[in-house]
Amino acid sequence: MRSIPRDFGLFVAGQSLSQIGDQCYLLTLTWVVAQRTGSTAALGVMLALAAIPRALLMPFGGALADRLSHRRVLLGANLLLAILLLPLVGLAVAGVSALWPYAVIAVVVGAVEGVLTPAAYSLVPLLVPGEALERANAIFLGSVLLSGIVGPALGGVLLAHSDAALAFAIDSASFLAVAGLLWLMRATPVRLAQRVSLLADLRATATLVRADRVLALYIALLLLGNLAAAGPLDVGLVAMAQGVFHGGPELLGSAMAIFAGGSLVGTLLAGALARPAWRQPLLFGGILGTGMALAVVGTSPSAPIFLALLALFGGGIGAIDVLMQSSIQQRAPRAQLGRVLGVTLCAGKLLAPLSTLVAGVAAQSHAPQLFFAAGALWVATTIIALVVSRESLVDAPATP
């Protein structure tokens, strides 16, 4: 892109700011729960409970974005998140030790994020011309990942030198600031003629996905990747930082930041180097290589090697995100962008509760082996999916 469109710049700035606060929230919440319960299983249960509404509401969030406009859904969701984070500040200040209030708020926050996420991801192709889509996705995802480096590092420092209340307060303020940036954007168009019931919208999208064999394959790959990686990233990193390397919140924050840094590099490389003819070979090769990288993370003999392997794994994840999102966005009809992205993003999160629960139990005593098993599962199931669907990849037409 020779110049960044004004609305796209405001959107990217808002999502970056939101990610900084959100990473502070996530790190703080996971650390507080793990510290107060002393159990990765309890942490896994709470994260799984929050992940269920996040995944299930994504298709509805995409349908709402198509009906009400993506900007309007994002604006309302960010204002609501700013309000929802305030009780966490009060709980932290009061020193409440009971776990259930944190869990209730985490579930509600997860539900709102389920509505918000597809609206954000499907807004990109509405703000930039089609020939700049991959570069725009690289800028969008790269800026979010750059914020993901700053957010965990900031959260780790805040926890080490202050308290959880400040981290939660920063997150709440970030959502207010994001809402302000969204307010400055021009309204996105809404196709009034297509307004039917939400369920009819979703049925039409399900029919579209079933008819498009490549989209169906992408959904299968997203499900498999989510099943393999969600638990190790959500719970395994905490178990490795606390139990294997006996580190503090700074090590966990560094691990999350370095993973995001590797993802940023992979994102930028994919945006700069990817071409339409290379997209599928790069995507499938990247999935297999990333699964292998995940398998060796748990073999790290020291914290520095652990962090280096996380950076490599993150690079693969970043490249996969750009290639996958660009492919899906280009295959989806413009009038159904929100709904198609809602379905595919749901697939990318749907099995996170199961993955997190299993990882929470396994990480209690087998954290290193958890990473090997997850990586081996991802590689094996991806190969099976590609073999079964190989005919779908030959001259498959894009969705009109």
Those residues of the chain that have pLDDT short of 50 are: 192-193, 395, 397, 399-400
Integer CA distances (angstroms), 361 to 100, 232, 306, in order: 19, 11, 21
Domain contains 67: yes
Question: Which segments of the chain are extended strands (E)?
Answer: none
Domain contains 305: yes
Domain contains 119: yes
Domain contains 132: yes
Of 179, 180, 165, 182, nearest in space to 85 by CA: 165
What's 98-121 look like in SS3?
A: CCHHHHHHHHHHHHHHHHHHHHHH
Task: State the CATH number of the domain containing residue 130.
Answer: 1.20.1250.20
pLDDT at 192: 44
Domain contains 228: yes
- pLDDT, one tens digit per residue, over 67-106 is 888 888 999 999 999 999 899 888 888 877 777 888 898 8
pLDDT at 140: 85
pLDDT at 399: 46
Domain contains 318: yes
pLDDT at 174: 85
**Neighbour tally for 355: CB within 10 Å:** 26
Quote the longest CA-to-CA distance of the chain.
Answer: 61
Please give the Cα distance from 10 to 2 (Å, whole number). Answer: 17
- pLDDT, one tens digit per residue, over 17-64 is 888 878 788 888 887 777 777 766 777 778 778 888 888 888 888 888
Dihedral, 83, 88, 89, 90 alpha carbons, nearest 10: 100
pLDDT at 193: 45
- pLDDT, one tens digit per residue, over 248-277 is 777 887 887 788 788 888 888 887 776 666
| Amino acid type, 355 | S
pLDDT at 112: 92
pLDDT at 395: 47
Q: What range does the domain containing 351 cover?
A: 6-186+194-393
Please give the Cα distance from 133 to 135 (Å, whole number). Answer: 5
Secondary structure tally for the chain: helices H, strands E: 17, 0
Domain contains 145: yes
Number of domains in the chain: 1
Q: 25 near 85, Cβ under 8 Å?
A: yes
Domain contains 211: yes
